[in-house]
Amino acid sequence: MTSVLAPLEGLLPSLRELYVDLHRNPELSFAEYRTAAELARRLTEAGYEVRTGIGGTGVAGVLHNGPGPVVMLRADIDALPVEEKTGLDYASRAHGTDEDGKDVPVMHACGHDMHATWLSGAADVLARARESWRGTLLVVFQPGEERGSGAKAMLRDGLFDLAGLPSVVLGQHVVPGPAGWVLTRPGVIMAATDALRIVLHGRGGHGSRPETTIDPAVMAASVVMRLQTIVSREISATESAVVTVGQLHVGTANNIIADDAVLEVNVRSFDEQVREKVLAAVERIVRAEAVAAGAPEPPEITPIASFPVTANDEGTNTRLTSVFREHFGAERVLEAPLVTGSEDFSEFGRAAGVPSVFWLVGGLDPEQVLTAIAAGRFERDVPSNHSSLFAPVLEPTVRAGVETLVTGALAFLSVPSDMVVA
């Protein structure tokens, strides 16, 4: 491993520049044109067969190196409609156009710029170490993760036609833990998510004559309050779910009762039965409140995004955890908590019918994080993913994330016969 990783020291300056460039120039889901072009350029220079435009703006590189397994490494590349407030000298000032056609600020608030940097670096290191392994590398830069549809888009566009079905799929995510720490977990590691758009139909009119109307604002308020009882009164204390009303839009003026109210609801769960129970409860409550209000027509309930549970193959996760502990030391490789955030990473392993493992890598200043934990102020003092203040430190985060991908890939790629000791 020492010889394989030897080139990394010389690559780090270029990788740090790549990270800063991506952070300064974020792009929204399925608009990652500049990002994709730069990552494709680097893959080409490293000797990969490169295909672009997969699933819209996805990029994949294939490196054949003799007979052996096909190992897929994946990173996501899209940013979020968030205005950055980190104060960094390379902070994003970019704007983009969101799904509704609105101009919005854009920031890599989830760390996908770091993910792309890690994978670019690992692809380069592994290409330089071809004498140490045999098989095929499939390096995938995925668009549209934040919408939950990027993985499926790449699969529909023939991703697995490039190198055949992978033998294993590996991925990772930067989190607000101490930089350089690695967190793994067997089985379920991240939640499923279902996002719903709900339209409640009322009958509008003048604010001075509510008796002539059916007020969708009151109907929406009742729905919001009643939805909070799903987790507290319908889900067992030994199970887990989250129901959030993230958006509520109704009316255009203080003296007008609107015709409709629009809500967007986000549901998180770790178990398929719990998921189905919560979704059924949401529909039941919404329809019942509409009936109770005398709504002129039934509400519209439309799914707008869905992420599956991210579950790690237990045997494969055990193998990777052992490799990471050997490389980083047991004190830096810990068991990850259940994460209520969601990912579409597991779509790849499901589609291929092969094991997949997703792990977490800390990216914030260790002293800041450990001090906050000791003081019981972690949630207050440490910015999380999707925060306008989230910004991984460059080192040792860049180095650690490249090393995890390299060591993880080598755990599954074949060893050349002349390196096997009898």
Which residues sit in the known binding site?
110, 112, 146, 173
Q: Are 391 and 109 in contact (CB under 8 A)?
A: no
213's enclosing H/E stretch is none
User: Is 78 one of the annotated active-site residues of the chain?
Assistant: yes
In terms of C-beta density within 10 A (0-12 exposed, 13-18 middle, 19 or more buried), how is residue 333 classed?
buried
Catalytic choice (76, 78, 113, 215):
78
Exposure letters 16-31 (e unless 16+ CB within 10 A, then b): bebbbebbbbbbbbbb
Closest CA to 275 of 192, 384, 359, 387: 192
Distance of alpha carbon 385 from the chain centroid:
10
Annotated binding site for Mn(2+): 110, 112, 146, 173
- In DSSP notation, 47-106 reads T-EEEEEETTTEEEEEEEESSS-EEEEEEE---BS----S--TT----EEE-TTS-EEE-
CA distance 403 to 408: 8
Which helix or strand (DSSP H or E) is residue 153 part of? helix 150-156
Is there a cis peptide before residue 396, judged by omega within 30 degrees of 0? yes
Rg (CA), the chain: 24
| Annotation says 395 is catalytic | no
DSSP category for residue 111: S
Q: Which DSSP symbol is given to 235?
A: S
| Amino acid at residue number 313 | D
Six-digit token string for 52: 């672009």
Cα–Cα nearest to 187, from 274, 310, 276 = 310
Residue from 145, 215, 343, 403 carrying the catalytic annotation: 145
d(CA 333, CA 325): 6
List the one residue out of 127, 128, 149 whose CA is nearest residue 136: 127
CA angle 31, 34, 36 (to 5 degrees): 80
Residues with catalytic function: 78, 145
